[in-house]
Amino acid sequence: MKGLPMKVGQILSFMDGVVPPEYQGIYAELLSRLQVNAKPMAWEPMRELLEAELGRPVTELFASIETEPIAAASIGQVYSATLADGRAVAVKIQYPDIGKAVISDLRNAGSIAKTMQAVMPNVQIGVMIEDFLGRIGEECDYRREANNMTAFAARWASDPRVLIPAVHPQLSAERVLVTELMTGQRLDQVATTADAARRSAIGEVLFSFVFRSLLRHGMFNADPHPGNFLFPGDDRVVFLDFGCVQYFDEDSRRAFRRVIDAILAGSEGPQLWAVLAEALEFPDDTSAPLREIIETYVRYCFEPVLAPQPYRYTREYTTRLSQITLEAKLTVAKNLLRIGWREPKRHGLVLLSRILFGMNSLLASLEAEADWRTLLQQA
């Protein structure tokens, strides 16, 4: 299972509460394998693609390279290698022809979405589909990921807690990405071995990285599953995989600030909706029941900053968030023809919801405790 199906599986793997409690143990165990490793592809076809992309034999590119991957992801595998000067690097090679398969899957998904809109004109999902499919499609070009990594590294260079591997552009191409090799514990290891102080400190870094990247720099990495983080010690976090990144302009950043200010001020009902509608560009004909569903979801997403501080994340919180999300979807589905679905017209919000949910799940795994309200205000 590679490409788009595995990507969906990875997204599901860190979402607590999406299946009934009696099945969660089996579900979590199976899908957790997708977070870091999947069944690897043989070395020979990967070597051929590597040499075709970079135009030289492997023996000329690297002093040595391990032929067993250290990670197998949704569209590629990662190998450890050594450069001629002795530096250790990670070599990410795309599965042969996976780009064509993903593009085909995306086209099919887009066709299904268009058919749905034609059958149900009262349901508006064009912006959401365009954003999601567009970002997933961009992951097939490792040159874009290299640019994303460089951009994030430049903006976070002054924070010693945030580690982003340096890119080797001369050894990277559309389907090959070579970066500095960084090591560390996985999230599950930290969650089970680190003390409460370290887990909370790591949680603060993850929280600040998401909101400061969004509100100050106008970008965020929309792929927050646990396999994309390493923890080398103390509160330092290695951030990996920048293939799916959403960028926002200054107007969007100001709009998000207005929403957060309203939430922190305790706004709700018509007062909160007025801010949401203006900032996120909801249509005027959004029905009252749909408004109530959206308001409930948004406020609960920010429950950790609205609650008395310091607040400790728990799995019960993310399970309840999943339940609220599911209840909202069921309510919309049951009443779709009557209330319709009006999506916000500001681009990028479907992925913003994904990163918020993913971040909450990561912090719950760590049972992190902090003054999240102050951290958000400082972002």
Active site residues: 223
3-state SS of the chain: helix, strand, coil percent to 5?
60, 15, 30
Contacts of residue 21, defined as CB under 8 A and 6 or more positions apart, other chains included, come to none
What separation, in Å, do the N-terminal and C-terminal C-alpha atoms of the chain show? 38
Q: How far is CA 148 from CA 49, 141, 323, 348, in A?
A: 23, 11, 34, 16
Please say whether the beta carbons of 341 and 289 come within 8 A. no
Nearest partner of 51 among 65, 71, 37, judged by Cα = 65
Its sign, for the CA torsion 206, 209, 210, 212, is positive
- Three-state DSSP class for 282? coil
Q: How far is CA 360 from CA 12, 16, 110, 221, 287, in A?
A: 14, 10, 29, 15, 29
